[in-house]
Amino acid sequence: AVPPPSRDRVRKNSKKFSMSRILITTGIYPPKIGGPAQYAKSLKEAFSKSGYSISVKTFNLENYLPTGIRHIFFFLKIIPRILASDFTLALDTFSVGLPSVLAGKVFSKKIIIRTGGDFLWEGYVERTGKKVLFRNFYAQEKDNLNRKEKLIFKLTRWTLQNASKVVFSTEWQRSIFVPAYGLDSRNTAIIENYYGQKEENIELGFKAKTFVASTRDLKWKNIDTLKHVFNKKGTKIPEDVDLFTYESEFDDFIKTIKRSYAVVLVSLGDISPNMILDAIRLNKPFICTKETGIFEKIKDFGIFVDPLDEGDIEQGIIKLLDKNEYDKWVQKVRSFNFIHTWEEMAKEYIELYKSIVR
């Protein structure tokens, strides 16, 4: 007969799954505006609803410190929380990801990284002004990195290779990162972004022919190209059509989308764009860059354009201004019914942690 497990063994195994304390590290958090801030806040609330004790550490003074010093400062700041937590979820690959993984290695703690965007590519486009697509960046521009960017690449590679698990929101980004950073696919996972339920009793229609393109003023967002399409001499876009590009707090931004004609996003690479997902949730027609990780999931529900082709962008806008086309795309976006809640995402992160400690 097989002897029963010892009491100590049972206690040890049960302790593995008595996880109750989670630390989230993020570069931005409300009231700051941006996808990562909303992601951190909503996921914190979902974890809390499930009974977990959640701490969040974010940049404050770090925003005014140079790279390197900022990382050291954040590393020291999070040590008490790292020690008190069962695992840490870091919401980027470099800014908070590097110090979080370093602390995890020092104190033997599990660190899961959720990649979000790409700090290196975004910074490179900002520095050089080159409009290189995200999917082409590592193949075409790696030899053109300056000394600082080469160091960032090496540190990011170390961070990703030493994380307990690396989470992507799309297979598209994983297919780019795995070869670029020499990752083991078995140490990665996909947890899709938030796809909310359609808002109830939403008033369809629009107050004016306004295309909402609110975004951070970053070169990879390609907003200058979009503005040029609207303002260039000889454009076929009517004068009564406006482009709205101002940033606002999340609740005000949602109200702006509700009043708008459509949403438009033409960035050089957007992994899982929250603005488009918000448009879908609000049944608002949209024009989206083809360079997105969620193309396969939403390709039948909106108009997609080449972000490097002004003519293609202009034709997409003109197409949507046609009443019959507009009504058609309203019906298409209304038929999108995939839902992925914050509560589901929180459960997926918990299951991922359990798979690590088994």
Provide DSSP, 307-353. Answer: TT-HHHHHHHHHHHHSHHHHHHHHHHHHT----B-HHHHHHHHHHHH
Who has greater pLDDT, 18 or 65?
Answer: 65
Q: Is the pLDDT of residue 154 over 80?
A: yes
Residue pLDDT, tens place only, 28-66: 999 887 778 889 999 999 999 999 999 999 999 999 999
Q: Is the dihedral of CA 195, 292, 245, 63 positive or negative?
A: positive
Q: Is the pLDDT of residue 207 over 80?
A: no
Residue 202's pLDDT is 61
The mean pLDDT of 180-198, rounded to a whole number, is 96
Which two structure tokens, joined as six digits, stand for 111? 């660190």
Q: Is the pLDDT of residue 203 over 50?
A: yes
φ, ψ of residue 125 to 5 degrees: the values are -65, -40
Q: Which of 153-157, 182-186, 203-207, 283-287 bottoms out in mean pLDDT, i.e. has the lowest?
A: 203-207
Residue 8's pLDDT is 45
Answer yes or no: are the C-beta atoms of 34 and 98 closer than 8 Å. no
Among all chains, which residue has been given the structure tokens 């899982």?
A: 272
Query: What is the pLDDT confidence band of residue 204, given thresholds at 50, 70 and 90?
Result: low
Residue pLDDT, tens place only, 78-123: 999 999 999 999 999 999 999 999 999 999 999 999 998 899 999 9
Residue 9's pLDDT is 42
Residue 18's pLDDT is 56
Residue 205's pLDDT is 67
State the Cα angle at 220 between 240 and 308, rounded to 5°. 65
**Whether the bond into 66 is cis, omega within 30 of 0:** no
- The rounded distance, in Å, linking the Cα atoms of 16 and 82 is 17
Q: Which of 17, 15, 24, 26 is nearest to 44 (CA)?
A: 24
Who has greater pLDDT, 251 or 149?
Answer: 149
Instruction: Tell me what the pLDDT averaged over the chain comes to.
Output: 92
Tally of CB atoms within 10 A around 133: 19
Residue 11's pLDDT is 41
Residue 351's pLDDT is 96
Q: Which of 47-51, 190-194, 246-250, 348-352 bottoms out in mean pLDDT, i.e. has the lowest?
A: 246-250
